Each structure stands twice: as C-alpha cells, then as structure tokens.
A and B are shown apart, each in its own frame.
Chain A
Amino acid sequence: MNLLNNQKFRGIFFQLLTVIGLVAFLWYITTNMFHNIEQRGITTGFDFFGQIAGFGISESPIPYSDQTSTYFDAFKVGIINTLIVSGVGIFFASILGVIIGVARLSKNYIVSKLSLGYIEFFRNIPILLQILFWYNVVLAALPKPRQSIQLASDMFLNNRGLFVPKPIMEAGFTFVIIAFVLAIFVSIFLVKWANKRFEETGKESFLLPWIVLIIVGLPLGVYFLSGSPLHFDYPALKGFNFRGGMSYSPEFLALTFALSIYTATYIAEAIRSGIEAIPKGQKEAAASLGLSSYQSLKLVILPQAIRIAIPPIINQYLNLTKNSSLATAIGYPELVTVFAGTCLNQTGQAIEIILVTMLVYLTISLTISFVLNIINKKMEIKGR
C-alpha cells in the first residue's frame, strides 16, 4: 500500500509538519527577540521584582511606600486592586442584573419596556466609552470638596471622591463577630428544623422574619450589651479637602459604576433567557396541580432557569474582571495600570511583565472555569 495514502500515516505526517513548523517559527522569533533585546540593552529575567519601585500608588489596600516598596509589592497592589474592583463590580452587577432581568419579564408594559431600553442602550455602547463618560463627565462635574454633596449625616460626595465614616473596631468587637457567626449557625439549624417539620407534617413555616431578626438582632444586642465597641473616624473638611474616614476615589467609583451598569445588561439577558427557556407547559402543569404562582416559581421554574442561566452569568463575571483592565484609561491603579503600565515603563522589561500579567488573568479565568464546571456537574439535569 502506498504509504502516503495511509490515513494514519498522513495524520502523523501532518502533525509532524505542524510541530516542525511551529518550532521553527518559535525559534525564529525567539532568536530575533534575544538579539533585539541585547541591542537595546534591556535586561532580562525576573530580578527586577526585588528592586525598589520608587513610585507612588494613589490607592493601596496594603501598606505601600514609594520609598521602600519593591516592584513585587507594586505587583501585589495591582492584583489586589483588580480583585477589589472586580468583586465590587460583580456584586452590584448581579443585583442590578437580577432586578432588570426580572423587570424585563414583568407584565407591566412600562416596567418591561424601561428595562428593555436600559438593556439595549447600555449594551450597544463600548465599555471604555462608558468608563470615560462616568469619569470625565459625571464625576468631573461634581463640586469641589468645600461644596460637597452631603448624602447622609457623614457621607460626602465631591470631585475628589466619596467620603464615608470609617468603622474602627475596639476590643469588645470580637464578641459581636462571634454573635454574628452564632446567629448564622442558629439560622441554618432553624431552616433544617423547618424542613424536617414540613416532611413530617406537611406544615410550612414562615421563617424569613425570624431569620432576619436573629441575624440582625443577636449581633446588635451583643453590640450594645458590650458597650458599643465600635467608634467611627469621621471625614472632616480641613482646608481644601477631607481628612479622616474612608474614601473612594473618583477613579474607583467611575470604574465600578461603568462595569456594573454594563455587565448588568448581560446578566439581565441571561436571566431572561433562562426563564423564557422553560416551556410554557411546565408553568401550566404546575398550575394545574394547584401550585400557587409563588410555589410554581420556587419549585418548578427557578430551579430549571438557574441551571440554564448560571454558565453565562459566570462568564460575565469573567468578562467584568477582564474589563477592569480598562482602568488604564483613567488611572485606577489595578494590575495593568500599575504593572503593565508604570513598572513596564520604568524597567523596560516588556516581555516578562506582559507575560506575567497575562498569566495572572489566565489563572483567574481558569479558576473561574474550574469552579463553573464543578457547579455545572452538580446541577446537571440527568438524562439519557
């Protein structure tokens, strides 16, 4: 038999060709790369991580100094800021997305059309444009600190950011935390008890007010009993700016608003398609069995809709995290701005830095995918 026509041989031959081609290409670009690096006098390797960075970072959740912190410290700050802004964004995007998604399905014409308008409007505008808009138009239009908008008795909004009181925990506060954890355990126990009661007697229990009471009341009670072990550092206007309290920079605010509002449109659509994917017959069967609207939703529709909606929603969380990299445009010090921006400019070691940056995002993506796979496996509707 002619060897060239043997399918198996062809497969191996073709793969061999690809490998050789790929290796040759990689060899070509790497030799060029090293040559070019040498020519330009750029250092290689990861030693720079230990060097002192020498630049300041405007907001950092961990101690960072422009005098003593290394590039590795800057790298850490970048990652943490990325995680913070992504986490906050995911939180608000989810809440907003659920509200808009449910509103979209409402029988009320105005509510449904308003949410449709929201979705169609924010979905068709680039996220970068939305970030720039919030930053340059909305937040820039805020008044100077001396004329701040007072949102609550100690919350101030101005063009330097949002200033709120900072809670400072005293010694006795640990008891409050213990009380909170205890309250959660009690609630779990209560839910288990109610389920058992339902199985045995068919009686339903209305637990929600009790659970709220316990989770809020118990820690609160302990708080007052131990003499209110919490005091606040209030933001106060000193000179031209506020001192004290906690502050959220305009960069952080603009980024969070834009990311939340934009991602919420996709989450809303995922929720809507999840619910609409459930055949009308399911609702009818539930109704004909006598289940109320609330029961149908809780026992039949939502369990199925969630299974459909979760993968795209988690995908959106991933997108939001990747989109946080656009903070570069407004200078919020997350990973790309700090590391692939300032650090890269100072050290010139583009290859290492960009590769490491990509690896960080890749790790986040793969972790989220992995978690998603586990969730999916657990929730699978079993079939043939």
Chain B
Amino acid sequence: MNEENIIEIKNLNKWYGDFHVLKDINLNIKKGEILVICGPSGSGKSTVTRCMNYLETFQEGSINIDGTELTDDVKKIKQVRSEVAMVFQHFELFPHLTILDNLILAPTHVHHQPRHEAIDTAMKYLERVNIADQADKYPNQLSGGQKQRVAIARALCANPKIMLFDEPTSALDPEMISEVLDVMMELATEDKTMICVTHEMGFARKVADRVIFMADGQIVEENTPEEFFHNPQSDRLKLFLEQILDH
C-alpha cells in the first residue's frame, strides 16, 4: 500500500443477486484528502461509501483502510470501524437516549473509556458544533439541522481518521442546510480524510480536493472541483450537471 494513501480500493465489484451494482471501482484516497462523490440515484455512490466501513459487503476486489484489509474477519472490521466514522442521511440518533448518552455510548462500550472522560470529550465536541446546551435533551426534541450536527459530534467522539458523509443534508429543510455545511467545512480544515456523497455543489467547490462522478455503478469522471464543474468532459456528466444546476 502506497504510503500516501489512506484508502485503496482495487477492482471492487458488487452484485445484489444478479444485479451488477458496482463495476470495477478503482479508487485511491490520500491522507487528509477531501473527496466529494456525486451522481444520479442508483449510481452506486452510497454503496461504495458504505463498503468502506463494511456496512455493505462485496464479492470481488479489495479495500484497504489505513493498512487493514477489509474482509469478513470481525477483528479487522472492528479495527476499521474505530478509524472510520459515518454520518447518515437520516441522522440515526438513538431516540431513547439523551444527546449526551448518544455521544458517550461508543466511547464507553467499545473503547472502554471511563464515563467522566467520555463526557468531557463529548461536551467538547458538542460545543464545537454549537449545540452544547442541548446535551440533556432527547433527539426528537431537536430540529433536523440540530440532529445532524449532533450526529457529526457523535462521529467525532471516536476521533476517527476518516469520516464518511452519506448525503448528510438531503433530508434537511433548506434553511438548516447551511448550519450543517458550516460544520463540515470547519472540519475540512483539519487533517481528517473526508468522503462526502452530496449534491451540494457549493460545498464541493469551496472545500473538495477532488470530485468524482459516478453513474451506473462505475466511476465515470474525476477532476478538481474547478475543472469538474466548468469543464465536464463526459456527456454523462454534462447531462447530470445540466439537470442539477438548472434550478
């Protein structure tokens, strides 16, 4: 594995039954890189992202995360998941726990941190995403934007090297999108590797190092944000950009 890369995906192929969902994905992601993946629905962009923390399995190819090869080996999966954190489109906070308990659940039960240490870390991240005053509330008492910020804080509590964002703003009302994007942009200034599946082109332009376009299960085009949006090479990408940038 190349020293610079933190994720190496080689010849990844996945089938759902007979349906060829991911076709020969080859992708190397450098340490600290901010990568945006976009594409029409059904293109496999979420699927390939979810393969990176083994929420989805694959039949052919290999994924190497920071030196660990992803296989069915439970130990390897656990190792990978301790370095890779994920933020979901529908937040997926645990509704029966307070915000604070949501954040300290994994640190105490998986990483065996003492409770007061976990609470300190959690409050630190809650303050960072500007939501510390809601620590004792329950998820259903928060707005969508607040919930997603909490979800980001929860992901940060594990101190991950890699963060995966699966359409983090797609389920939000328009006025709440910017509060979440602001947090993400602030994270981008650190040395974390971020992989974002998103339609938010403004975010991609400002922050991404590289933008990838996927369609029909394969990577069709990749480029720097500037070139990607102003000089689309493939017809498929041209069509896609027309469709999303038109309104």
Contact = CB atoms under 8 A, between A and B. Distances in A.
A366 B117 CA distance: 47
A199 interface: yes
Interface in A275-299: 279, 281-282, 284-292, 295, 299
Contacts of A200: 114-116
Interface in B76-113: 78, 81-82, 84-86, 88, 90, 92-96, 105-106, 108-113
Interface stretch (A44-52, A147-155, A201-209): A201-209
A201 B114 contact: yes
B138 A382 contact: yes
A196 to B, nearest CB: 10
Contacts of B141: 382-384
Interface stretch (A87-95, A300-308, A321-329): A300-308
B94 A290 contact: no
Interface in B197-216: none
Nearest to B55: A284
B138 A291 contact: no
B55 A287 contact: yes
A284 B88 contact: yes
B86 A288 contact: yes
B184 interface: no
Residue of B92, B113, B154 with most chain A CB atoms under a 10 A cut-off? B92
Contacts of A383: 95, 138, 140-141
Given A288-B55, A289-B106, A290-B78, A304 B96 contact: yes
Interface residues of A, number: 29
A202 B140 contact: no
Contacts of B53: 288
A202 B114 contact: yes
A282 B92 contact: yes
Nearest to B154: A289
Nearest to B83: A290
B9 interface: no
Contacts of A201: 112, 114
B103 to A, nearest CB: 10
A298 to B, nearest CB: 9
Nearest to A201: B114
Interface string A147-186: 0000000000000000000000000000000000000000
B65 interface: no
Contacts of B115: 198-200, 202
A295 B158 CA distance: 17
A315 to B, nearest CB: 22
A289 B81 contact: yes
Given A282-B92, A304-B95, A204 B106 contact: no
A281 B92 contact: yes
A288 B110 CA distance: 11
B237 to A, nearest CB: 30
Contact of B114 (A199, A304, A307): A199
A282 B94 contact: yes
A3 interface: no
A285 B140 CA distance: 17
Interface of B: 53, 55, 78, 81-82, 84-86, 88, 90, 92-96, 105-106, 108-118, 138, 140-141, 154, 158
- A-B interface, 7 closest residue pairs, ranked by CB to CB distance from nearest: A383-B140, A285-B92, A202-B112, A199-B115, A289-B106, A290-B110, A281-B92
Interface of A: 198-204, 279, 281-282, 284-292, 295, 299-300, 303-304, 307, 381-384
13 contacts: A202-B108, A202-B111, A202-B118, A282-B92, A285-B92, A285-B93, A286-B94, A288-B53, A288-B86, A290-B78, A304-B96, A381-B138, A381-B140
